[in-house]
Structures are given as structure tokens and as C-alpha cells.
């Protein structure tokens, strides 16, 4: 069973994509708001029925129903409002995530946790520390969302098929994210040989800024994060060993320890099975360091 805690827009989207990909026979939507997860589950089940997809989605307010879950997705928390940074959410969501993880420990102690609540990197750190799980069993979703945006802007700039584009974004999921043109390509052709530096800089900046634009226009980002969550679930459930950017706990990798931040990793049945260390240049190292410092500063300001 796959459990998604938080049945709002992102949680509902994650449940929908997970069901459409048939990643488990049972999906549980949990929320403290009476009626919300039940209604969301009904809506999704009606769509699945017409599609002939035999996945059962259940909504509940009872955390004990997650017992035996293989994967638990933590989406619970306050959403980012227009004008807010992810770090503005820090104090609001720290208490919520701590409480949720305590319940995961109680009812689904053998699960893999996928952290989604913002600010993503510090909340993933809280999930890791409060759960006491091995570090490979706690995964943050941020990089999957960031690369979806990066790929879109590369597609717009080149006109080439999205299916031909491979992109990479690491670092903090926020203002100090690090889109990497040097490690991105179109069917193996380096992006840096296809576009001039000025255009690459424009794409990088657009990738960093677009979340705030989406939030200003429609109030929240929904479908891209929902899909990103399902991609990570797919790699775990089907042991795909995909190399994807996820937030994970560093213990000496990239020269940093006791911090959770986005890096490329092999994701399979055991969660984060290997962290891949890139040979970053000095400019890239500087941006990555700023992200580390931002996350560490956030972590230091919360009580765990």
C-alpha cells in the first residue's frame, strides 16, 4: 500500500498520477480535515472506474490505517502563498511534519518516506531525524519538480522534442537551486553546444523564478509536483535504479555532512541506493555551497 498524507491539491494529484501508473493496488489518502480525503478518493475512483483501472483509492482521517504501507508520502502542511518564500513556511510546517512523522514511526516503521512539504530540504531533514530511519529510506522530491521546469524551458528555447531532453537540477529546492546546463543534453548532444551562454543563463533564471509565477497566477503548483512524486514512487516500487535528483542526507558527499539537499542519486527498491558526486566547476560549487548554507541555517533555527 502507498499512503499519501495530505489530501489537498498536491496530495490528490500525487494519488491520481500514482493510480494512473498502477504503482500499487491500494492508495490511502490521509488528512486531518474530515471529509476531504474521502471526497478526493471518491472523485479519483470514479475516474479510474471509467478508465478500467483496478486501483482502489481510500480516504481516511485515521492514521492507523497506514499500517503496512511500503511508501508514505508527506505532503501535509501549509502551502506556499503568493509573495512567500519556501523558508517563510519553515516555522509553520515544522510542527506539522514532526507530528506526522511520529505517526509514521508508529504505524509504518518499515516504509520509505517521500518528503514533499516545503521548505523541502529542511523538512526532509526533520523526516530523517524524527523517524530514525536509515538515510536511504528518506527521500525529498524537490529536484524532480525543478527538472520538469528546466526541461520545459529547454524545449521552448530549442524547439526540440521534450522526449529528447535530459536535464539536471541539484542543490537547494528554492532560491539557491542549481540548474546544470553542463550536465544537460538533447539526445546526448550537450546543451552547452546547442545554445549560447546568454540563452542558457536566461533558461537557468527562468527555472529558478517560475514557481513564484505559477503561484501568483493560480495559487499553487499542483500537477508537476504530483507527477514528480509518482516518478520517485515508480523508481522505488519497480526497482528501476533511475538516476534522478532527490533531496537526501549527506555524510561527506560533496564535502558536506549533516545536511539534506538535492543531488543526483540512484533510486530503487531500497530508496536512495547511491549518491552520484559530480565534478562541479567553481561557479557551480559556489551556488551549491550557498544552498547548503541556506539549508543549514534553516535547520539550525528549528528544534528537533
Mean pLDDT by runs of 10 across the 304 residues of the chain is: 96 97 97 97 98 97 96 90 72 93 97 96 97 97 95 96 97 94 96 96 94 88 95 98 98 97 98 98 97 95 83
* Residue 18: closest CA among 233, 272, 237: 233
Residues 192 and 165 in one domain: yes
Q: Which residues are registered as beta bridge partners of 177?
A: 171
Position 220 scores a pLDDT of 85
* Residue 3: closest CA among 59, 47, 81: 59
Q: Which residue numbers are catalytic?
A: 173
Position 86 scores a pLDDT of 61
Position 50 scores a pLDDT of 97
Position 302 scores a pLDDT of 86
Residues 73 and 88 in one domain: yes
Question: How many domains does the structure of the chain reveal?
Answer: 2
Position 84 scores a pLDDT of 67
State phi, psi for 118 to the nearest 5 degrees.
-90, 150
> What single DSSP character describes residue 276?
P
* Residues 25, 165: Cα–Cα separation, whole Å: 32
Position 133 scores a pLDDT of 97
State phi, psi for 6 to the nearest 5 degrees.
115, 100
Residues 69 and 172 in one domain: no
For residue 270 the three cell numbers come to 531500497
For residue 154 the three cell numbers come to 529547454
Residues 113 and 159 in one domain: no
Position 244 scores a pLDDT of 96
Are 59 and 40 within 8 A, CB to CB? yes
Could you tell me the pTM of the whole model? Answer: 0.94
Is residue 243 classed as helix, strand or coil in its secondary structure? strand
Position 89 scores a pLDDT of 82
Position 257 scores a pLDDT of 97
Residues 260 and 167 in one domain: yes
Residues 43 and 170 in one domain: no
For residue 146 the three cell numbers come to 525543478
**CATH code of the domain covering residue 262:** 3.90.110.10
Residues 34 and 53 in one domain: yes
Structural domain span for residue 209: 143-300
- Cα separation of the two ends of the chain: 29
Position 216 scores a pLDDT of 87
Among 125, 142, 159, the domain boundary falls at 142
Residues 245 and 100 in one domain: no
**At 261, which helix (H) or strand (E)?**
strand 257-268
For residue 279 the three cell numbers come to 565534478
Amino acid at each position: 500500500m502507498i499512503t499519501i498524507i495530505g489530501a489537498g491539491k498536491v496530495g490528490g494529484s500525487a494519488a491520481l498520477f500514482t493510480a494512473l501508473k498502477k504503482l500499487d493496488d491500494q492508495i490511502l489518502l490521509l488528512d486531518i480535515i474530515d471529509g476531504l480525503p474521502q471526497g478526493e478518493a471518491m472523485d479519483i475512483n470514479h475516474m479510474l472506474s471509467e478508465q478500467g483501472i483496478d486501483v482502489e483509492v481510500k480516504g481516511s482521517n485515521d492514521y492507523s490505517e497506514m499500517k503496512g504501507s511500503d511508501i508514505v508520502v508527506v505532503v501535509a502542511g501549509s502551502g506556499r502563498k503568493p509573495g512567500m518564500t519556501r523558508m517563510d513556511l519553515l516555522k509553520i510546517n515544522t510542527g506539522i511534519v514532526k507530528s506526522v512523522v511520529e505517526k509514521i514511526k508508529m504505524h509504518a516503521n518499515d516504509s520509505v518516506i517521500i518528503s514533499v512539504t516545503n521548505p523541502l530540504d529542511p523538512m526532509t531533514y526533520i523526516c530523517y531525524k524524527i523517524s530514525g530511519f536509515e538515510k536511504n529510506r528518506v527521500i525529498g522530491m524537490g529536484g524532480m519538480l525543478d527538472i520538469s521546469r528546466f526541461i520545459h524551458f529547454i524545449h521552448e528555447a530549442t524547439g526540440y522534442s521534450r522526449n529528447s531532453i535530459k536535464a539536471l537540477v541539484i542543490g537547494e529546492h528554492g532560491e539557491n537551486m542549481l540548474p546544470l546546463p553542463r550536465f544537460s543534453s538533447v539526445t546526448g548532444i550537450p546543451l552547452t553546444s546547442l545554445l549560447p551562454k546568454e540563452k542558457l543563463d536566461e533558461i537557468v533564471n527562468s527555472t529558478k523564478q517560475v514557481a513564484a509565477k505559477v503561484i501568483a497566477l493560480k495559487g499553487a503548483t499542483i500537477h508537476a509536483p504530483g507527477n514528480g512524486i509518482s516518478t520517485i514512487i515508480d523508481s522505488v516500487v519497480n526497482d528501476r535504479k533511475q538516476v534522478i535528483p532527490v533531496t537526501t542526507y549527506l555524510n561527506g558527499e560533496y564535502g558536506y555532512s549533516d545536511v539534506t539537499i538535492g543531488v543526483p542519486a540512484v533510486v530503487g527498491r531500497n530508496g536512495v541506493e547511491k549518491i552520484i558526486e559530480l565534478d562541479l566547476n567553481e561557479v557551480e560549487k559556489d551556488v551549491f555551497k550557498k544552498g547548503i548554507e541556506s539549508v543549514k541555517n534553516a535547520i539550525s533555527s528549528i528544534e528537533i
